[in-house]
Amino acid sequence: ETGVTQSPTHLIKTRGQQVTLRCSSQSGHNTVSWYQQALGQGPQFIFQYYREEENGRGNFPPRFSGLQFPNYSSELNVNALELDDSALYLCASSTRGSGILYEQYFGPGTRLTVT
């Protein structure tokens, strides 16, 4: 157990809909990164939030957006869902200090299925 929690565990949506996924970071961690993991593939970096601001983004379209709250929890929002968005969405929390990002701890993930 890493202390990182995600909700919901599973979700089924229809193409074109919108979805919000949530992540609570481990106590003391100020940075949250989101990854998308398609079946049989390694996780792909979506973006990272540090102190409530986006701090880097991977190769994902603008319909993927996020938020980080003062308590460092985070949301991932995906608009206009496409079939290819079906994946496991992982949240990873870590601590950033002196410009260094320390080890990332992963939550259990949210399995999103788009039909």
Partner 1 sequence: GQNIDQPTEMTATEGAIVQINCTYQTSGFNGLFWYQQHAGEAPTFLSYNVLDGLEEKGRFSSFLSRSKGYSYLLLKELQMKDSASYLCAVRDLRATGKLIFGQGTTLQVKP
Token pair belonging to 107:
């939550």
Does 40 contact partner 1 by CB under 8 A? Answer: yes
Nearer to partner 1, 92 or 112 (CB): 92
Q: How far is C-alpha 79 from the chain's CA centre?
A: 14
Distance, in Å, from the CA atom of 94 to the CA atom of 82, rounded to the nearest integer, reads 30
Nearer to partner 1, 17 or 65 (CB): 65
Does 108 contact partner 1 by CB under 8 A? Answer: yes
Nearer to partner 1, 15 or 103 (CB): 103
Does 90 contact partner 1 by CB under 8 A? Answer: yes
Binding-site member from 23, 29, 104, 114 for partner 1 (CB under 8 A): 104
Return the bridge partners of 111, or none: 10, 88
Q: How far is C-alpha 48 from the chain's CA centre?
A: 8
Does 22 contact partner 1 by CB under 8 A? Answer: no
Token pair belonging to 18:
């919108």
Contact 47, 64 (CB under 8 A): yes
Binding-site member from 2, 30, 65, 86 for partner 1 (CB under 8 A): 2
